[in-house]
Amino acid sequence: MAYFAHPTAVIDDGCTIGNGSKIWHFSHVMPQSEMGENCILGQNVLVSSHVKLGNNVKVQNNVSIYTGVVCEDDTFLGPSMVFTNVINPRSFIERKNEFRTTLVKKGATIGANATVICGLTIGEYALIGAGAVVTRDVPAFALVVGNPARQIGWVSRYGHRLHFDEHNRAVCPETKEEYTKAGSVVIWTR
Protein backbone atom coordinates (compact mmCIF):
# COMPACT_ATOMS: atom_id res chain seq x y z
CA MET A 1 0.00 0.00 0.00
CA ALA A 2 1.42 3.38 -1.06
CA TYR A 3 -0.47 5.37 1.59
CA PHE A 4 -1.13 5.00 5.33
CA ALA A 5 -4.63 4.61 6.77
CA HIS A 6 -5.27 4.21 10.50
CA PRO A 7 -7.21 0.98 11.26
CA THR A 8 -10.30 3.01 12.25
CA ALA A 9 -10.39 4.88 8.91
CA VAL A 10 -12.95 3.80 6.29
CA ILE A 11 -11.60 3.76 2.73
CA ASP A 12 -14.32 2.90 0.20
CA ASP A 13 -13.59 1.05 -3.02
CA GLY A 14 -13.33 3.26 -6.06
CA CYS A 15 -11.43 6.20 -4.58
CA THR A 16 -7.93 7.26 -5.61
CA ILE A 17 -5.30 8.01 -2.94
CA GLY A 18 -1.81 9.20 -3.88
CA ASN A 19 1.52 7.93 -2.62
CA GLY A 20 2.64 9.13 0.79
CA SER A 21 -0.79 10.27 1.94
CA LYS A 22 -1.90 9.66 5.53
CA ILE A 23 -5.46 9.14 6.74
CA TRP A 24 -5.96 9.24 10.50
CA HIS A 25 -8.50 8.04 13.10
CA PHE A 26 -12.19 7.75 12.18
CA SER A 27 -11.86 9.41 8.77
CA HIS A 28 -13.93 8.31 5.77
CA VAL A 29 -12.89 8.52 2.11
CA MET A 30 -15.84 7.84 -0.20
CA PRO A 31 -15.95 6.33 -3.72
CA GLN A 32 -15.04 8.44 -6.76
CA SER A 33 -13.03 10.86 -4.63
CA GLU A 34 -9.47 11.73 -5.60
CA MET A 35 -6.63 12.54 -3.25
CA GLY A 36 -3.15 13.47 -4.51
CA GLU A 37 0.24 12.57 -3.11
CA ASN A 38 1.44 13.45 0.39
CA CYS A 39 -1.95 14.58 1.68
CA ILE A 40 -2.83 14.41 5.36
CA LEU A 41 -6.36 13.88 6.65
CA GLY A 42 -6.61 14.47 10.39
CA GLN A 43 -9.00 12.73 12.75
CA ASN A 44 -12.73 12.54 11.86
CA VAL A 45 -12.46 13.89 8.29
CA LEU A 46 -15.02 13.11 5.59
CA VAL A 47 -14.03 13.21 1.91
CA SER A 48 -17.27 12.81 -0.07
CA SER A 49 -17.67 11.31 -3.52
CA HIS A 50 -16.35 13.41 -6.42
CA VAL A 51 -14.19 15.60 -4.16
CA LYS A 52 -10.76 16.35 -5.63
CA LEU A 53 -7.75 17.06 -3.43
CA GLY A 54 -4.44 17.96 -5.07
CA ASN A 55 -0.98 17.09 -3.81
CA ASN A 56 0.19 18.07 -0.31
CA VAL A 57 -3.28 19.06 0.93
CA LYS A 58 -3.53 19.24 4.73
CA VAL A 59 -6.96 18.70 6.28
CA GLN A 60 -7.15 19.17 10.04
CA ASN A 61 -9.51 17.37 12.45
CA ASN A 62 -13.31 17.43 12.10
CA VAL A 63 -13.58 18.72 8.50
CA SER A 64 -16.24 17.46 6.08
CA ILE A 65 -15.37 18.02 2.42
CA TYR A 66 -18.62 17.65 0.53
CA THR A 67 -19.28 16.77 -3.10
CA GLY A 68 -18.43 19.73 -5.31
CA VAL A 69 -15.27 20.83 -3.49
CA VAL A 70 -11.97 20.96 -5.37
CA CYS A 71 -8.77 21.78 -3.45
CA GLU A 72 -5.67 22.39 -5.55
CA ASP A 73 -2.10 21.57 -4.44
CA ASP A 74 -0.73 22.82 -1.11
CA THR A 75 -4.05 23.93 0.39
CA PHE A 76 -4.67 23.90 4.14
CA LEU A 77 -8.08 23.32 5.73
CA GLY A 78 -8.07 24.29 9.41
CA PRO A 79 -9.72 22.39 12.26
CA SER A 80 -13.52 22.19 12.10
CA MET A 81 -13.83 24.50 9.09
CA VAL A 82 -17.03 23.97 7.08
CA PHE A 83 -17.90 23.70 3.38
CA THR A 84 -21.46 23.79 2.09
CA ASN A 85 -22.61 22.44 -1.28
CA VAL A 86 -26.22 23.61 -1.63
CA ILE A 87 -27.28 27.25 -1.36
CA ASN A 88 -30.75 26.62 0.16
CA PRO A 89 -30.84 23.17 1.82
CA ARG A 90 -34.07 21.66 3.11
CA SER A 91 -34.30 18.20 4.62
CA PHE A 92 -37.53 17.40 2.77
CA ILE A 93 -36.30 18.49 -0.71
CA GLU A 94 -33.78 16.48 -2.73
CA ARG A 95 -31.21 18.95 -4.14
CA LYS A 96 -28.29 16.73 -5.17
CA ASN A 97 -28.63 18.03 -8.72
CA GLU A 98 -28.03 21.56 -7.37
CA PHE A 99 -24.60 20.98 -5.78
CA ARG A 100 -22.30 23.91 -6.54
CA THR A 101 -18.57 23.68 -7.13
CA THR A 102 -16.25 25.37 -4.65
CA LEU A 103 -12.66 25.85 -5.80
CA VAL A 104 -9.81 26.35 -3.33
CA LYS A 105 -6.82 27.36 -5.41
CA LYS A 106 -3.16 26.45 -4.92
CA GLY A 107 -1.63 27.34 -1.56
CA ALA A 108 -4.76 28.85 0.01
CA THR A 109 -5.41 28.49 3.75
CA ILE A 110 -8.82 28.34 5.42
CA GLY A 111 -8.62 28.92 9.18
CA ALA A 112 -10.19 26.99 12.04
CA ASN A 113 -13.99 27.12 12.29
CA ALA A 114 -14.34 29.17 9.08
CA THR A 115 -17.35 28.55 6.84
CA VAL A 116 -17.21 28.69 3.04
CA ILE A 117 -20.55 29.05 1.26
CA CYS A 118 -20.76 26.88 -1.87
CA GLY A 119 -20.05 28.02 -5.41
CA LEU A 120 -17.10 30.28 -4.57
CA THR A 121 -13.46 30.47 -5.59
CA ILE A 122 -10.76 31.03 -2.98
CA GLY A 123 -7.74 32.49 -4.83
CA GLU A 124 -4.16 31.26 -4.80
CA TYR A 125 -2.40 31.75 -1.45
CA ALA A 126 -5.40 33.55 0.05
CA LEU A 127 -5.68 33.39 3.84
CA ILE A 128 -9.11 33.01 5.42
CA GLY A 129 -9.03 33.92 9.12
CA ALA A 130 -10.35 31.65 11.86
CA GLY A 131 -14.13 31.83 12.21
CA ALA A 132 -14.68 33.81 9.01
CA VAL A 133 -17.86 33.26 7.00
CA VAL A 134 -16.94 33.50 3.31
CA THR A 135 -19.90 34.58 1.18
CA ARG A 136 -18.12 35.75 -2.00
CA ASP A 137 -15.03 34.96 -4.06
CA VAL A 138 -11.68 35.75 -2.46
CA PRO A 139 -8.83 37.14 -4.62
CA ALA A 140 -5.38 35.59 -4.76
CA PHE A 141 -3.16 36.63 -1.79
CA ALA A 142 -6.11 38.28 0.02
CA LEU A 143 -6.43 38.24 3.80
CA VAL A 144 -10.09 38.03 4.84
CA VAL A 145 -11.69 37.88 8.29
CA GLY A 146 -15.06 38.26 9.99
CA ASN A 147 -18.74 37.47 9.45
CA PRO A 148 -19.38 38.11 6.66
CA ALA A 149 -15.73 37.88 5.63
CA ARG A 150 -14.17 41.11 4.42
CA GLN A 151 -10.73 41.74 3.05
CA ILE A 152 -8.37 43.55 5.42
CA GLY A 153 -5.10 43.18 3.53
CA TRP A 154 -2.79 41.00 1.50
CA VAL A 155 -0.41 38.15 2.39
CA SER A 156 2.62 36.55 0.78
CA ARG A 157 2.86 32.91 -0.27
CA TYR A 158 4.35 32.26 3.19
CA GLY A 159 1.37 33.90 4.93
CA HIS A 160 3.05 37.14 6.02
CA ARG A 161 1.16 40.43 5.84
CA LEU A 162 2.28 42.49 2.85
CA HIS A 163 2.80 46.25 3.15
CA PHE A 164 2.85 48.00 -0.22
CA ASP A 165 4.95 51.12 -0.80
CA GLU A 166 4.05 54.16 -2.90
CA HIS A 167 5.05 52.20 -6.03
CA ASN A 168 2.64 49.35 -5.14
CA ARG A 169 5.48 46.98 -4.35
CA ALA A 170 5.87 44.77 -1.28
CA VAL A 171 8.44 42.25 -0.05
CA CYS A 172 7.78 39.12 2.01
CA PRO A 173 9.78 39.50 5.24
CA GLU A 174 10.64 35.78 5.30
CA THR A 175 11.52 34.96 1.69
CA LYS A 176 12.25 38.43 0.26
CA GLU A 177 9.97 37.55 -2.66
CA GLU A 178 8.49 40.60 -4.35
CA TYR A 179 4.83 41.38 -5.02
CA THR A 180 3.15 44.11 -7.02
CA LYS A 181 -0.39 45.44 -6.70
CA ALA A 182 -2.44 46.67 -9.64
CA GLY A 183 -5.83 47.86 -8.44
CA SER A 184 -7.45 44.92 -6.65
CA VAL A 185 -4.96 42.32 -7.95
CA VAL A 186 -1.70 41.23 -6.34
CA ILE A 187 0.95 39.50 -8.45
CA TRP A 188 3.86 37.50 -7.13
CA THR A 189 6.77 38.73 -9.25
CA ARG A 190 9.06 35.97 -8.01
pLDDT in tens, 117-168: 999 999 999 999 999 999 999 999 999 999 999 999 999 999 999 999 999 9
Report the pLDDT value the prediction gives residue 55, as an integer from 0 to 100: 98
Asked whether residue 33 is assigned to any structural domain, the reply reads yes
Asked whether residue 137 is assigned to any structural domain, the reply reads yes
pTM over 0.85: yes
**How far apart, in whole angstroms, are the C-alpha atoms of residue 114 and residue 138?**
14
Report the pLDDT value the prediction gives residue 23, as an integer from 0 to 100: 98
Domain of 73 in residue numbering reads as 4-88+97-162
Report the pLDDT value the prediction gives residue 51, as an integer from 0 to 100: 98
Residue 180 has pLDDT above 70, yes or no: yes
Report the pLDDT value the prediction gives residue 115, as an integer from 0 to 100: 98
CA 6: distance to chain centroid? 23
pLDDT in tens, 35-56: 999 999 999 999 999 999 999 9
For the sheet containing 115-116, what is the strand order?
Answer: 10-11, 28-29, 46-47, 64-65, 82-83, 115-116, 133-134
**How far apart, in whole angstroms, are the C-alpha atoms of residue 27 and residue 99?**
23
Asked whether residue 177 is assigned to any structural domain, the reply reads no
Structural domain count of the chain? 1
The CATH number that applies at residue 77 is 2.160.10.10
For the sheet containing 16-17, what is the strand order?
Answer: 16-17, 34-35, 52-53, 69-71, 102-104, 121-122
pLDDT tier, 190 (very low <50, low <70, confident <90, very high otherwise): confident
Asked whether residue 189 is assigned to any structural domain, the reply reads no
Asked whether residue 182 is assigned to any structural domain, the reply reads no
Phi, psi of 135 (to 5 degrees): -115, 0
Residue 10 has pLDDT above 70, yes or no: yes
Asked whether residue 169 is assigned to any structural domain, the reply reads no
**Residue range 80-93: mean pLDDT, rounded:** 94
Asked whether residue 65 is assigned to any structural domain, the reply reads yes
The secondary structure of 43-101 as a DSSP string is TT-EE-TT-EE-TT-EE-TT-EE-TTEEE-TT-EE-TT-EE---SS--TTS--GGG---
The reply to whether omega before 148 is within 30° of 0 (cis) is: yes
Asked whether residue 188 is assigned to any structural domain, the reply reads no
